[in-house]
Structure 1
Amino acid sequence: MDACFQFDLQVDVNGEEVFVVDKRIISLYSGKINKLLSKSKDVGCCLKVIFHDFPGGAANFELVTRFCYNRGRVNINPCNISNLTVAADFMEMNKFVAGTENLCEQTEKSLEEIKYWTWSDLLVALKQCENLLPGAISLTILDKFLDSLVGKVVSSCETSPCPSTSSPESYGFRLSCETRSSESLKNSCFRATWWFEDLIPLNIQVIKMLIRSMLSRNLDNGIISKFLLYYQKSRFGSALTGEKVEIIEAIVEMLCSLDMTCVSYKSLFEVLRFGLNLNVSQCCRDKLEGMIGLLLDRATLDNLLVPSPARRCYLYDVDLVLRFLKSFLGEGVGCVPLSRLKKVVRLMDLYLVEIAPDPHLKPSKFLAVIRTIPDSARDSSDEVYHAANLYLEVHSGLCEEQKMKICSGLNYEKLSSEAINHLARNANFPSQFAAQALILQQQRLESLLQHTDEAVSTDLPSTLSETAHKGRKGESSQQIVLYAKKLSLSDESKKLRAHLQNMQWRASELEKFCRRMQIQMTKMMRSRLSSHGRNAKSVPKICS
């Protein structure tokens, strides 16, 4: 090779810069340049080559020329290996040159030493790859960097596991102080998450590949979810709106690939709020809402009180909660464990009470929340009654038909005696529902009295038992007559209300009588047990 160079070839690199180089030297190492020059008929004049997509731009082309002018020698390190690899591939620098290895061979050998690289070396190389994305960098070299990086993360987590990774909600430590001190636990947790901050500068495309590699290595899903949420919060500070949308959508997609029991439920709601404010795609929202819905039994009331969308007058986004419920119930109540279902029922009852005072909430939405939970899942309808009462009190201007629809969501069979008594005096409810509740209360009392009669009839004097039974039967007949009269007086609301109050008093008297009977029965049974050994015979005194 000549000591002096002839600068007879112009190379325009991506419109950034034009290099004037010796075509003989460059073509000696570059198969691509050699092919281009062999096609040219103007051998004597100064030629020009234009590259529109040279990887790494002008700075990277300069690296290649230095390699050529330095007779095929170059110092390959983590700071330039990515650039040299893609440039060598682009320029087809795999030609055999006497006495030297071509650039492709040299970069491949350097990559074989990756297992000896430090953590900092890997981060530098990854950052170089990131600048070459998309398309320019070979996925093979990127996969090697990621695999080596993840290997170091997995190794550190295996040697110093963080006990908090099994807890999806926080970094709280649950092990007993008798086994490990809180200080050692904090240190252990730090060792499991030490790498979080170092990976924040990587863009979301590299993070997606990184997470796939972590999952393939079975890294703890709890650690991965914490990292993703930490990454999202850290990057949002300096990101533009478009970047934030891209990050949120990618984070949701990656969280979907994790074990949901390892994901913080509180954090999912935080991501949802970000997503709603950023107007992410409908597909992203559906995935996020589906994840939240599947774990609805973990939610708190505060989680569900999401403000209504913009330009909506009602307070809370009830439609969102209905979608959560639909996702939670899935194919039906029978597919959900009873313990989880009961938690959601209690949560929904609290939610009903919270949204009931909203003056802009439509009856159809309020009723939809009641009916989405199957009635068979509720042990008691008292909270639903409380919520319905609040709703009717605030929405006093509802027509009779609308009030009837709200009341139809109540299962009166599952109301307690206290709730029924309250309903009988409740002017917010239509009169016929108050009457219906009282009839149900009387039926309960009749059933209870009948049961009591059967239990104590053999222990009471026949005349006393018959008298008491007739008295109760007569009282019941009188009440049923009153109910019939009351139901026929729908246009005389005041008179009907008086009848209802009278019936309530009579029902209360029946309850008191029943309680006295139960007390006497208990005393009688105790007396029998105490006298059984002495063969004593006595008749308890019931009337006082």
Structure 2
Amino acid sequence: MWDSESESVGGRDYDNGVLSSSKPGLQTDGFEQRGKSWFVSTDIPSDLVVQIGDVSFHIHKYPLLSRSGKMNRVIYESPRDTDVNKVALNDLPGGPESFELAAKFCYGIAVDLTAANISGLRCAAEYLEMTEDLEEGNLIFKTEAFLSYVVLSSWRDSIVVLKSCETLSPWSENLQIVRRCSESIAWKACANPKGIRWQYTGKPPRSSSSPKWNEMKDSSPSRNTQVPPDWWFEDVTILRIDHFVRVITAIKVKGMRYELIGAVITHYAAKWLPGLIKEGATAPLDEGNNVSNISSSSSWNGGLHMILSGNKDDLPAVQVKDQRMIVESLISIIPPQRDSVSCSFLLRLLRMANMLRVAPALVTELEKRVGMQLEQATLGDLLIPCYNKNETTYDVDLVQRLLEHFLVQEQSENSSPSRHSSSSDNKMYDGGSHRAGAINNNNPNAKMRVARLVDSYLTEVSRDRNLSLTKFQVLAEALPESARSCDDGLYRAVDSYLKAHPTLTEHERKRLCRVMDCQKLSIDACMHAAQNERLPLRVVVQVLFSEQVKISNALATGSLKEAGESQFHHQPIVASRKTLLEGTPQSFQEGWASAKKDINTLKFELESVKAKYLELQNDMETLQREFNKVSKPKQSSSSSSAWATGWKKLSKLTKMAENSDSGSHVANADQNKKATRRWRNSIS
């Protein structure tokens, strides 16, 4: 292997960076350009014109015929009536630049080989069939040797050559240049950072300036310089998407940690998909070689791109078709492990995939990936526009599918909780042992976080008048009841939907309110709902009943604590209630003061009614006594006396029955006997 990383970009110690033919050709001082035509500086007039695009080369037949099999066939196998003094080679790989170098080689002129021109020259030599059969040490042999012994041993040159292969398809693929460069890059990217001695473009180490390409001879990383695990990100992300995929695939095979692979994919997307990732939204690598959402802005300056384009700010404009291909390729190479990329990145990629109408199979795969870590999402990430006409503003069906994938994933994790990532994922770069991904798989709070997220999403999309009641209900009921310990979020969404859809019928409002459980509403939410005129009357009654139960339980609990607990135990309750009130949505706080005042007024009126009832009862008893006195018998007839006595006894029996149920039957028996006896006496 060549230790050539400290060498300059312009030349290599391969015959001092100069390539020449082993046999001298015509005596010439070189080529000179006149407009778009090249002429050989010699006394012998040219007898052949080679046309490549709009550039013409006025050269001689003999130097090319002696080293190019294709030129032999074109000239000697052409029909006799055809003018062989002019040949068009418009499909020559590398274009006029490569043919110029090949022609100079044929004339014996020294050619300076660099990483920027070697791939084009190698493909042009293959096209011209400059093989060893015509001459020993021909151009194919020379360029192949330079590729194998110089380029592939260098990190920088491998990147530059692979970048230059973008315009050489399919020749670069057929000649295995892309494959060999991808393998070389993958091997070096997977090297232990402690052993890296070559220069790279990337984040500067702490207390150190960023490396510059014009200072590479003496500025290679020292042994004491700490190399970050993402040192290779900047260089590989200048590649075209198909070559980037080849490199990442080779890196995967060699066992790179999936967190680093996910981070470089995020880095690439930020650079080539403008607007996908907000600047400064992610954090760099930490010192423990752990990846925590490696940062990457949408624009990138410096590095190998300066060598290729000459302008560090000149990134190619990506068209819609190219963006679609980039998104599809990135989806296909995302590592299957959980948390290899952030959920926010996946949702942003999903948003762009829907906008660009990516292949449905890849979109489905991406939705499954989002479902694996949906609890990490935020409301802003879920608000994905719906690109179908005459539909809702946001894609509610998409969120419904994400919830289904999340529930399926949760169920599968519960059935097989012992899944772990492969050992190779944790060994590369001697990184810290196990990531938090395997720990988060069975987090019991995941469903609760997703429930809060869905409630916030419903509150946001419920303002859309095109959102049907069925879609709202299906999304609200997608999660199991155990996912919500409190339905305040659902109540807020229901109330928001009722505000935005005032034309709902009574039946539709009842159907809408079935998505929430009144018993799971907080006391403050119940108080707000009790005066909410948009709710159906039946729901208000259920809320009031639930509130009464909560108040009774709270009073009972409070009295017990006042009797048996110290002031120390009271403090957490007050604090938790204060926290609950502070965290209650603003919409619930509106009207609470008036609601409490109305309830206190109703309680006062109820006490007044009870007092009036007791007063009326006392007046009735007084009137009864007065009536008994007035109706006292003044006549001596036995029949009238008997009826008056019976009336008095009957009233006494009634009062005794109200006071004691156990002794009523005995008293009735005794009185009946006496009444019967007196009745008989009166008859006699």
TM-score, length basis structure 2: 0.53
Distance in structure 2 (CA, Å) of the matches to 1:350 and 1:2: 79
Aligned partner of residue 68 in structure 1, secondary structure: helix
CA deviations 1:421-470 (Å, max 9, x no partner) are: 77666543333344566788999999x9xxxxxxxxxxxxxxxxxxxxxx
Aligned partner of 1:295 among 367, 373, 394 = 373
AA matched with 2:342: S
Paired residues, number: 431
Report the Cα offset of residue 370 of structure 1: 0.9
Aligned partner of residue 228 in structure 2, secondary structure: helix
Counterpart residue number, 1:428: 534
AA matched with 2:247: L
Distance in structure 1 (CA, Å) of the matches to 2:461 and 2:324: 34
Distance in structure 2 (CA, Å) of the matches to 1:394 and 1:119: 61
8 Å Cα contact 1:94-1:104 kept in structure 2: yes
Counterpart residue number, 2:143: 107
Distance in structure 2 (CA, Å) of the matches to 1:374 and 1:389: 21
8 Å Cα contact 1:252-1:287 kept in structure 2: no
Distance in structure 1 (CA, Å) of the matches to 2:543 and 2:184: 71
Aligned partner of residue 476 in structure 2, secondary structure: helix
Residue 195 of structure 1 pairs with residue 250 of structure 2: no
Report the Cα offset of residue 344 of structure 1: 1.4
Change (3 A) 1:442 1:43: closer
Report the Cα offset of residue 193 of structure 1: 2.8
8 Å Cα contact 2:71-2:128 kept in structure 1: yes
Aligned 1:333-344 pairs, distance under 5 A: 333=411, 337=442, 338-344=444-450
Report the Cα offset of residue 97 of structure 1: 4.7
8 Å Cα contact 2:372-2:405 kept in structure 1: yes
Counterpart residue number, 1:266: 344
Aligned partner of 1:366 among 469, 472, 478 = 472
AA matched with 2:377: A
Aligned partner of 1:328 among 406, 409, 418 = 406
Change (3 A) 1:315 1:35: closer
Aligned partner of 1:397 among 493, 503, 506 = 503
8 Å Cα contact 1:252-1:284 kept in structure 2: no
Aligned 1:244-263 pairs, distance under 5 A: 245-246=323-324, 248-250=326-328, 252-257=330-335, 259-263=337-341
Distance in structure 2 (CA, Å) of the matches to 1:102 and 1:431: 94
Counterpart residue number, 1:49: 87
Aligned partner of residue 230 in structure 1, secondary structure: helix
Report the Cα offset of residue 406 of structure 1: 0.7
Residue 59 of structure 1 pairs with residue 165 of structure 2: no
Counterpart residue number, 1:485: none
Counterpart residue number, 2:654: none
8 Å Cα contact 2:258-2:335 kept in structure 1: no
Change (3 A) 1:294 1:20: same
Aligned partner of residue 87 in structure 2, secondary structure: strand
Counterpart residue number, 2:180: 144
Aligned partner of residue 345 in structure 1, secondary structure: helix
Change (3 A) 1:188 1:226: farther
Change (3 A) 1:25 1:188: closer
8 Å Cα contact 1:353-1:386 kept in structure 2: yes
Aligned partner of residue 92 in structure 2, secondary structure: coil
Report the Cα offset of residue 56 of structure 1: 1.0
AA matched with 2:244: I
Distance in structure 2 (CA, Å) of the matches to 1:301 and 1:351: 6
Task: Provide the alpha-carbon RMSD of the alignment.
Answer: 4.3
Bigger proportion of residues as helix: 1
Counterpart residue number, 1:125: 161
Residue 90 of structure 1 pairs with residue 119 of structure 2: no
Aligned partner of 2:57 among 3, 19, 22 = 19
CA deviations 1:325-352 (Å, max 9, x no partner) are: 1222237746564443333123223333
Q: Which runs of 5+ in 1 are unaligned?
A: 161-170, 172-180, 449-497, 507-544
8 Å Cα contact 1:30-1:95 kept in structure 2: no
Change (3 A) 1:369 1:332: same
Aligned partner of residue 352 in structure 1, secondary structure: helix
Counterpart residue number, 1:509: none
Change (3 A) 1:241 1:76: closer
Aligned partner of residue 229 in structure 2, secondary structure: helix
Counterpart residue number, 2:513: 407
Change (3 A) 1:404 1:216: same
Distance in structure 2 (CA, Å) of the matches to 1:331 and 1:154: 32
Distance in structure 1 (CA, Å) of the matches to 2:26 and 2:177: 36
Aligned partner of residue 11 in structure 1, secondary structure: strand
Report the Cα offset of residue 367 of structure 1: 0.9
8 Å Cα contact 2:477-2:515 kept in structure 1: yes
Distance in structure 1 (CA, Å) of the matches to 2:85 and 2:206: 72
Counterpart residue number, 1:213: 250
Distance in structure 2 (CA, Å) of the matches to 1:334 and 1:285: 21
Distance in structure 1 (CA, Å) of the matches to 2:393 and 2:82: 80
Change (3 A) 1:104 1:366: same
Report the Cα offset of residue 135 of structure 1: 4.5
State the structure with more CA Rg: 2
Change (3 A) 1:332 1:383: same
8 Å Cα contact 1:305-1:316 kept in structure 2: yes
8 Å Cα contact 1:314-1:358 kept in structure 2: yes
Identity of aligned residues (%): 29
Change (3 A) 1:241 1:283: farther
8 Å Cα contact 1:268-1:288 kept in structure 2: yes
8 Å Cα contact 2:324-2:356 kept in structure 1: no
Aligned partner of residue 51 in structure 2, secondary structure: strand
TM-score, length basis structure 1: 0.65
Report the Cα offset of residue 209 of structure 1: 1.8
Change (3 A) 1:422 1:182: farther
Report the Cα offset of residue 54 of structure 1: 1.0
